[in-house]
Structure 1
Amino acid sequence: MPDYDICLDGLEVSIGLGIHPAERAAPQRVTLDVAMTCRYPARPEDRIDAVVDYDFLRTRILTLAAAGHIELQETLCEEVATLALADPRVVHVRVRSTKLDIYPDARIGCEITRTR
């Protein structure tokens, strides 16, 4: 069975994320990088319905970002991983979130991997 890595990199969202008062006051910019290892029973045909369409993940992440406040980047990453693993063809996912505006000289983030 062939494996394919599908990447959604640099998706910038505005999301309520964090525990500090300034983070609770307004949404902040966060980038998300998601790499999904997808397994198909055979080499897929040249049709979008034969593969995992990353558009489903992007749409669901945008909905998650608009849904409300999340305390921790770890929780955000877990939620995104769960969204990716909703498709049974996704056998492994790596999710990285990065807060862009917390420090003037650094970005802070979290990265997780989950395997079915």
Structure 2
Amino acid sequence: MAEYTIILDDLAVAMRLGIHPHEATPQRVLLSVHLTVAYGRTPEADDIAEVLDYDGIRDGIHALAAGGGFALQETLVERVAALCLADPRVREVRVRSMKPDVFPDARVGCEIVRRRR
């Protein structure tokens, strides 16, 4: 078995995220995803068909961002983790969200790790 970590780092999306009135309009959110992926063997053909195509993860995150929004970062990261774990080759996923513009002196975020059972 061959195991790899696929990284999608600081993907910037505009979305509704938060509980405060000023967060009713889309704001910038940064999402980072680290996926531990297991393949039956080392990819040999240098072909995307042999591995997880991270375009699907990126597209899925953009679709979540374009939806109705979320009150909590916790809900957002759980949805992203579920999206990633839908691929049976994903063994573990770490998802981090950051709202970089909420405070002038700090970024606020949430991070989870979910493993396939």
TM-score, normalised to structure 2's length?
Answer: 0.96
Counterparts of residues 85-104 of structure 1 (less than 5 Å): 85-104=85-104
Following superposition, the deviation at residue 2 of structure 1 comes to: 1.4
Aligned-residue RMSD, C-alpha: 0.6
CA distance in 2, matches of 1:69, 1:114: 22
- Counterpart residue type for residue 30 of structure 1: V
Q: Map residues 6-45 of structure 1 onto 2, 5 A cutoff.
A: 6-24=6-24, 26-45=25-44
TM-score under structure 1 normalisation?
A: 0.97
Unaligned 5+ segments in structure 2 are none
1:33 counterpart letter in structure 2: S
Give, in angstroms, the shift of residue 100 of structure 1: 1.1
Rounded Cα–Cα distance in structure 2 between residues aligned with 1:59 and 1:2? 25
CA distance in structure 2 between the partners assigned to 1:63 and 1:106 by the alignment:
27
- Percent of matched pairs sharing the same residue: 58
User: Does residue 1:74 correspond to 2:77, yes or no?
Assistant: no
Instruction: Say if 2:5 is the partner of 1:5.
Output: yes
4+ residue segments displaced more than 6 Å: none
Which runs of no fewer than 5 residues in structure 1 stay unpaired? none
Question: Counterpart in 2 of 1:113?
Answer: 113
Q: Match of 2:4, as an amino acid?
A: Y
Query: In the aligned structure 1, how far is the partner of 2:42 from the partner of 2:95?
Result: 25
